[in-house]
Amino acid sequence: MKKIIFVYYLFLAGNLRAQTPPPSTPTNTDSSAPILELEPLIITAPRLRLPPNAVLNPQIDANLLRLLQLPNMRPNSQEQLDPSLTNLANLTTLDGYNLQTRYTQLGFLLTEGLAGTKDLTLQNSLQTIVQTGTNVQIQALALDALAYTHDPQFIPLFQSALQNTNVTIRFTAMEALYIMADGKPNSNISSIIYTAAQMDSSLAVKLYASHLAWELGNVFGRETLLHHYQDQDWFTRAFSTHYLGEMGKNDVFSLIQPQLYSETNPSVQAELCWALLKMEKYRKP
């Protein structure tokens, strides 16, 4: 799972997407000192917490289907003038950021409501949106919602979306495949993600997908990140360093530590500090 830092970076690149749930927060080998991490923005998928035989109020799905037909997933110009929304835009804490996203990105709320649906009517509607829709945000939420079903029948749909000309659709397709793996190593899905990443025209998506592939067991994803952590572009260095810190061990620690003394960009310096702190337990004395 993906840290909220990726949302920030992809936003800088012009593409804001909601994040998928991370694995459970690990604990330190010292049981008296648990590792505390900021919670990322996640899709909670409330349907997945219901009993298998639960019968939903039909008005819930009817309303969600109706909302999918809206032409815009963001507040209109009049709604943006609401004083409360203006105040949210000024919040800089993590909770403040999460609130901004919930109430300025209707797609996030719809994804939460639709994620993991077993209703065939809803599934068919979501598939149709992915295949024939024209609103990129709605297509993206449909991909994520179907991914939470963890149904392998949708893998070909996600693979097809990897060929889309729109970078947001391609990114979401990779995210959807990762969600399908449900946090477990999966050589088939990791291979699909990594192969698609190597051909993607967006370096941000390529690096993100390389991290996903590495997390699912494909070590070549690690090599891609290592290839870019000294890139001339600050964004690329920061992005690669962040994901190396998430997955790296002592060998990665030794490689990136010298960068701390030569790096001049504040964002990359901060990422280096975060990554080295994350890997401190692997540092050789």
**Which tokens go with 214?**
């590495």
Q: In this structure, is residue 109 part of a structural domain?
A: no
Per residue in 225-275, pLDDT (tens digit) is: 999 999 999 999 999 999 999 998 888 999 999 999 999 999 999 999 999
Rounded average pLDDT over 170-188: 92
Given a cut of 80, whether residue 285 has pLDDT beyond it is no
Q: Which residue has the tokens 């809206």?
A: 70
Q: In this structure, is residue 220 part of a structural domain?
A: no
**Which tokens go with 281?**
């337990």
Per residue in 20-55, pLDDT (tens digit) is: 443 333 434 444 444 444 445 567 788 888 888 888
Rounded average pLDDT over 167-177: 95
Q: In this structure, is residue 256 part of a structural domain?
A: yes
8 A C-beta contact, residue 244 and residue 256: yes
Per the structure, the count of domains in the chain is 1
Q: In this structure, is residue 278 part of a structural domain?
A: yes
Q: In this structure, is residue 27 part of a structural domain?
A: no
Instruction: Give the pLDDT confidence score for residue 148 in this predicted structure.
Output: 94
Q: Rounded to an integer, what distance in angstroms lies between the CA atom of residue 263 and that of residue 67?
A: 47
Given a cut of 70, whether residue 142 has pLDDT beyond it is yes
Concatenate the DSSP letters of all residues of the chain into one string.
---HHHHHHHHHTT---PPPPPPPPP--SSTTS----PPPP----GGGGS-TT----HHHHHHHHHHTT-S-SS--TTGGG-HHHHHHHT--SHHHHHHHHHHH-HHHHHHHHHTT---HHHHHHHHHHHHH---HHHHHHHHHHHHTTT-GGGHHHHHHHTT-SSHHHHHHHHHHHHHHHTTS--HHHHHHHHHHHHH-S-HHHHHHHHHHHHHTT-THHHHHHHHHTT-SSHHHHHHHHHHHHHH--HHHHHHHTTHHHH---HHHHHHHHHHHHHTGGG---
75: nearest Cα among 95, 43, 101:
101
Instruction: Tell which wins on pLDDT, 170 or 106.
Output: 170
Q: In this structure, is residue 269 part of a structural domain?
A: yes
Q: In this structure, is residue 38 part of a structural domain?
A: no
* pTM greater than 0.85 (yes/no): no
Q: In this structure, is residue 245 part of a structural domain?
A: yes
Could you list the residue range(s) of the whole structural domain that residue 281 is in?
229-285
